[in-house]
Structure 1
Amino acid sequence: MEAVARLRNYPTSPRKMRLLADLIRGTDVEQALNTLKFSTKHPSVAMEKLLLSAIANWRVKNEGVDLIDASLFVKTIFVDGGRVLKRMRPAPQGRAYRVRKRSNHITIIVDSRIPQVQTTEA
């Protein structure tokens, strides 16, 4: 059973966040958490919290299944561009330069490697 967690409008450029997303895509959850915890990039804190949220969502969906037995992994992670705040910065000779402050949206999908047995009531 999959679990999804989303973070909207995080004030970092999508390119910087995609570098972190590429590090943890397809890895086990414990390894991904360790990678994010010891990463020197500043958006790793937000991505670590988002991954913990996805794990918590998975636990709620799959009550009674042990986390260790399930062997969770990061199935899908993608970063989309969010809103862009446009600001003006003073420039020489009375001109102004446009500054684009970018943000992004992150989506993490966590799943277990061991298939769950579905029980159907007839």
Structure 2
Amino acid sequence: MEAKENRKVKRSVKIRLKKEAWKEAKKSVSGKQGPVVASLRNFPSAPRKMRLVADMIRGQRVSVALNILKFDAKFASIILEKVLLSAIANWQLKNEDVNFEEADLYVKEIYVDSARMLKRLRTAPQGRAHRIRKRSHHLAITVDDRNRNVENDNEIQKD
């Protein structure tokens, strides 16, 4: 009997009901989401240069990290600032009911990994050639709420 009822419902209605159920499930979990990640892949800059700036903001609160990046003179800080703003936007999408200013967001992890390397030849004296390595990197920033971590630790200790 249930199978017949399922057949009678239009396909478009089923899709709409699934979407509504998904939104309800998302709302019930919102505010309790874990850390969010923003990444940048294959950026044509040496990873060594990016790591200098990344080490400055690792573990910092988001507002402090944004100020550090805004007033740093390196080109890498401009790129890192954009990726950090993207991570904040991702966190806001996951936690719609929590205000960004009230949350104590911090840079939980930041990774700068080397990516593909373009190998080029540069002419050298006496008919030789030297290999030039044009490096690129991947960047991943994880942002999390410190208050959420403290609440979860307290719940675990109570059990």
Q: TM-score range by the shorter chain?
A: over 0.9
| Equivalent residue pairs, number | 118
Where does structure 1 lack aligned partners over 5 or more consecutive residues? none
1:59-89 deviation per Cα after TM superposition (whole angstroms, max 9, x unaligned): 0000110111111000000110011000000
Q: Distance in 2 between matches of 1:10 and 1:44?
A: 13
More helix by share: 2
SS in 1 for 2:72: coil
Distance in structure 2 (CA, Å) of the matches to 1:58 and 1:93? 57
The match for 2:97 is 64
Task: Normalising by structure 2, report the TM-score.
Answer: 0.71
Q: CA deviation at 1:104?
A: 0.4
Scaled by the length of structure 1, the TM-score of the pair is: 0.92
RMSD: 1.4
Question: Hey, what does 2:85 align to over in structure 1?
Answer: 52
Alignment of 1:1-122 (within 5 A): 1-115=34-148
Residue identity over aligned pairs, in percent, reads 58
- The list of structure 1 runs, each at least 4 consecutive aligned residues, that deviate by more than 4 angstroms after superposition, is none
Q: Which has the higher contact order (CA 8 A, sep 6+)?
A: 1
Partner amino acid for 1:102?
R
Structure 2 unmatched ranges of 5 or more: 1-33, 153-159
Distance 1:11 1:66 in 2: 35
- Which has the larger Rg? 2
- Provide the C-alpha distance between the structure 2 equivalents of 1:7 and 1:65, rounded to a whole number of angstroms: 26
